[in-house]
Structure 1
């Protein structure tokens, strides 16, 4: 049988518990760990403040607003750029226009190229403006006035000048390697009109005739070889108050001694040559017929 004993029956146990002191257990971080934690918290706060200050500075410098950033503004019609802008990568846009009343300025250190592609991404038209000049490539080139009138057109078949007047300002004039078709060739007022072929022949042809007029000056035709006037179905008319045939060869006919012959007759050879022969009571062309050779 086990006998239960009360607390009063064990006085020595109470004496042992009363003599022991209560122990305290510290909870937390102390010593060098606590100092390191405070240091990292302080460093994190400094980084947050610096980061916030840099963010505010970037927003201020880049001019961030609700409508856009810097010179870029977002409007109902699209994007709006103010001032000078640089694009380092390709720019794709449906329409580029300047502000009302201001020009559109494109600048490049190399060249400015405008390419038109078809549905298959093949080059159809191209305009390149560079240091060597302006080059255009396409099926047809047209220049029109503000009223819509055609001023200039060029394609593979022909070049059309639709202006009322074509003016060539070069000192050497205009050079045409092939034939020229025009209804009217006229010089400027008080200027001479010259049609010249230095090394080849000059032909003027028209189905209904060629008309040459010099209302306030002289008409002169000069050539190094032969000058030929030919009319196949009609006639050649020389209508003038005076007709001079200079430097024609003169034939010699017997004349009275001591007299100077001042009257001549014009003789025509079978081959078409003309010469002068001293006039007499009869024709003297037979006497100087040796000039026909």
Structure 2
């Protein structure tokens, strides 16, 4: 009986030794689900070791250095360009500065160029608005230029020169300054369908020309309303005395009061004033004047 038991114990020890040998001969213990030590399940440790760990730390350090350098360069650019909320934005170039606007297809729709000699804007419509953006102060397109300010002031000594017609409802000079409309080499025309009003509230109104001054009314009348109407440099008509036969060209040297006469062609002349009209006796002035 003892011999059987000893044989059985030797067989069990041999079996345990074979199992331990098989476990020790496994190529990678990580593939095992776990080993039991004193009845507890034990799993092998998993991690990055060796040169892989050193490479990972190196890349993390390189990324950190790159971020610091990028932040430092960004701050330096903002400082050099004066691009801060507390100061204006300055764009500076040795030649010119150009700002382009493009549509979704990439086509150029607007351009603003600031150069050393001029400022050029290319767009369909150019507008300048007031501070709140509600009122258009100046606008320009292919058809017209509109100025929406209450007063257009030109400070040049030569005034304003227009190559074509000008349409406006009001032309006024500065206080205590003269208003002058002048055409040195051509005709000056003031025209309106319902009339043209020229008034000088305080000073004088003067119209002068080198040749003829024409006041014409096609349907109405020309009305001169003043306390005194003076016509200077009107020629003095000569008279022929039918009784004494005075020759043509005789004038009244001592006459102080004259009568204003008109020829058929509209010319005016003076005739000596008497009890009756003397325009008939001096009408020969209209023939040789």
Task: Tell me the TM-score normalized by structure 2.
Answer: 0.68
Q: 132, 142, 151: which is aligned to 1:147?
A: 132
**For 1:57-91, what per-residue CA distance to the aligned partner results, in whole angstroms no more than 9, with x for missing partners?**
xx7xxxx7648433515xxxxxx942114xxxxxx
Matched ranges for 1:131-280 at <5 A: 131-148=116-133, 149-253=135-239, 260-280=254-274
Counting matched residue pairs gives 215
Q: 116, 124, 141: which is aligned to 2:109?
A: 124
Partner in structure 2 of residue 6 of structure 1: none
The answer to whether the 8 Å contact 2:78/2:84 transfers is no
> Distance between the aligned counterparts of 2:155 and 2:253, measured in 1?
58
SS of aligned partner of 1:267:
strand
Partner in structure 1 of residue 92 of structure 2: 107
For residues 206 and 177 of structure 1, do their structure 2 counterparts lie closer, same or farther at Cα, with a shift above 3 Å needed?
A: same
SS of aligned partner of 2:284:
helix
Partner in structure 2 of residue 284 of structure 1: 278
Matched ranges for 1:46-57 at <5 A: none
> Distance between the aligned counterparts of 2:141 and 2:160, measured in 1?
21
Which of structure 1's runs of 4+ aligned residues deviate more than 6 A? none
More helix per residue: 1 or 2? 2
State the Cα distance separating 1:273 from its structure 2 match.
0.9
**For 1:185-243, what per-residue CA distance to the aligned partner results, in whole angstroms no more than 9, with x for missing partners?**
00000000000011111111111111111111000000111111112222211111110
Structure 1: 5+ residue runs without aligned partners? 1-58, 74-79, 86-96
> Distance between the aligned counterparts of 2:168 and 2:91, measured in 1?
40
> Distance between the aligned counterparts of 1:98 and 1:261, measured in 2?
89
